[in-house]
Amino acid sequence: MIKVSVFYPNQPGARFDHAYYAEKHMPMVAEKMGDACLRYTVDKGIAGGEPGSPPTYVGMCHIFCDSIESFQAGFGPHAGEILADIPNYTDLAPVIQISEVVVE
C-alpha cells in the first residue's frame, strides 16, 4: 500500500480554507479517483514541535492506494480538474510525497 501525502506549508499571510478543503475538495478528489482511493485523511496543523511554535504545515491530506500505478490511473485522468480547484481554497503551493506504508 502507498500513501500520497499533500502538504501545504504554513506561510505568514497565506490563505487556506479548511472547510472547503475538507468538505468539497477532498470528497471531489475521492469521487474522481473512484476505487483507486481506498481512503483519505485530512489534517489541520495546530502547532510545531517546540512549545508555542506554529505548525510547519497549515493543512495536509493523505490518500491511500494499493500502488503508485493505481494512484496514477485514478488521479491522472482528472489531474487538470483537481489541480484547477486549488485556488478555491488556498494560494499555497502544495508539497507532495509518496510513501510506502510499512506499518498500519
Residue-wise pLDDT tens digits, 19-60: 999 999 999 999 999 999 999 999 999 999 999 999 999 999
Q: Which domains does the chain have, with CATH numbers?
A: 2-100 (3.30.70.100)
pLDDT tens column, 71-100: 999 999 999 999 999 999 999 999 999 999
Q: Which residues pair with 62 in a beta bridge?
A: 5, 41
- Phi and psi of 47, rounded to 5°? -165, 160
CA–centroid distance for 67 within its chain: 17
3-state helix, strand, coil in the chain (%, to 5): 40, 30, 35
pTM: 0.95
Q: Which residues pair with 95 in a beta bridge?
A: 7
Write out the DSSP string of 52-95. Answer: TPPPSEEEEEEEEES-HHHHHHHHGGGHHHHHHTGGGTBSSPPE
